[in-house]
Structure 1
Amino acid sequence: MTKVKDISDFLESFAPLRLQESYDNAGLILGDKNAEIKKGLITLDVTEDVVDEAIQKKCGLIVAHHPIVFSGLKKITGKNYVERTLLKAIKNDIAIYAAHTNLDSVTGGVNGKICEKLGLENCRILQPAEGMLKKLVTFIPVDQAEQVRNAVFSAGAGNIGNYDSCSFNAHGQGTFRGDETTNPYVGEKGEQHYENEIRFETIFPSYLQRKVISVLENAHPYEEVAYDIYPLDNNFNQVGMGMIGTLPKEINEKTFLKKLKDTFKTDVVRHTALLNKKVKTVAVCGGAGSFLLNHAKAAGADIFVSGDFKYHQFFDAENKIVIADIGHFESEQFTKELFYELLTKNFPKFAVQLSEVNTNPVFYF
Structure 2
Amino acid sequence: MIVRDITNYIEKLAPLQYAEDFDNVGLLVGNYNAQVTGVLVTLDTLEATVNEAIAKKCNLIVSFHPIIFDGLKKLNGNSYVERVVLKAIKNDIAIYATHTALDNSKNGVSAKICEVLGLTNTKVLIPKKGIIKKLTTYVPSNDAKKLRNSLFNAGAGNVGNYDQCSFNIEGDGTFRGNENSKPVLGEKGKLHTEKETQVSITFESQHENAILKALQKAHPYEEIAYEITTTENVHQNIGMGMLGELEQEMSEKEFLLFLKREMKTDCVRHSELLNKKIKKIAVLGGAGSFAIANAKKADADAYVSADFKYHEFFKAEKSILLADIGHYESEQFTKNLLVDYLTKKFSNFAIILSEKSTNPIYYI
Instruction: Determine if the TM-score, normalized by the shorter chain, exceeds 0.5.
Output: yes
* Matches for 1:158-237 after TM superposition, within 5 Å: 158-190=157-189, 193-206=192-205, 208-237=207-236
State the match for 1:298 in structure 2: 297
Counterparts of 1:195 and 1:40, CA distance in 2: 56
Counterparts of 2:31 and 2:209, CA distance in 1: 25
Spell out structure 1 runs of 4+ moving beyond 6 A.
Answer: none
SS of corresponding position for 2:303: strand
State the match for 1:357 in structure 2: 356
State the match for 2:321 in structure 1: 322
Counterparts of 1:53 and 1:206, CA distance in 2: 36
Counterparts of 2:159 and 2:120, CA distance in 1: 19
SS of corresponding position for 2:285: strand
Counterparts of 1:7 and 1:23, CA distance in 2: 24
Is 1:268 matched with 2:261? Answer: no
Deviates more, 1:276-285 or 1:319-328: 276-285
Identify if the C-alpha distance between structure 1 residues 306 and 230 changes in structure 2 by more than 3 Å, giving closer, same or farther. same
Deviates more, 1:39-48 or 1:170-179: 170-179
Specify the code of the residue in structure 1 equivalent to 2:154.
A
Specify the code of the residue in structure 1 equivalent to 2:359.
N
The number of aligned residues is 364
Identify if the C-alpha distance between structure 1 residues 224 and 73 changes in structure 2 by more than 3 Å, giving closer, same or farther. closer
State the match for 2:238 in structure 1: 239
State the match for 1:155 in structure 2: 154
State the 1:173 CA deviation.
4.5
* Matches for 1:75-86 after TM superposition, within 5 Å: 75-86=74-85
State the match for 1:7 in structure 2: 6
State the match for 1:252 in structure 2: 251
* Matches for 1:4-43 after TM superposition, within 5 Å: 4-43=3-42
Specify the code of the residue in structure 2 equivalent to 1:45.
D
State the match for 1:60 in structure 2: 59
Structure 2 alignment gaps of length 5 or more? none
1:188-209 per-residue CA deviation (whole Å, 9 max, x = no partner) reads 4455555444332211244544
1:238-288 per-residue CA deviation (whole Å, 9 max, x = no partner) reads 332222223344333233223322221123211112222222221111000
State the 1:124 CA deviation.
2.4
1:57-101 per-residue CA deviation (whole Å, 9 max, x = no partner) reads 100111100111222223333333223322322222111111111
Is 1:282 matched with 2:281? Answer: yes
Identify if the C-alpha distance between structure 1 residues 121 and 191 changes in structure 2 by more than 3 Å, giving closer, same or farther. farther
TM-score for the superposition, normalised by structure 1 = 0.91
TM-score for the superposition, normalised by structure 2 = 0.91
Structure 1 alignment gaps of length 5 or more? none
SS of corresponding position for 1:37: coil
Deviates more, 1:26-35 or 1:300-309: 26-35
State the 1:217 CA deviation.
1.8
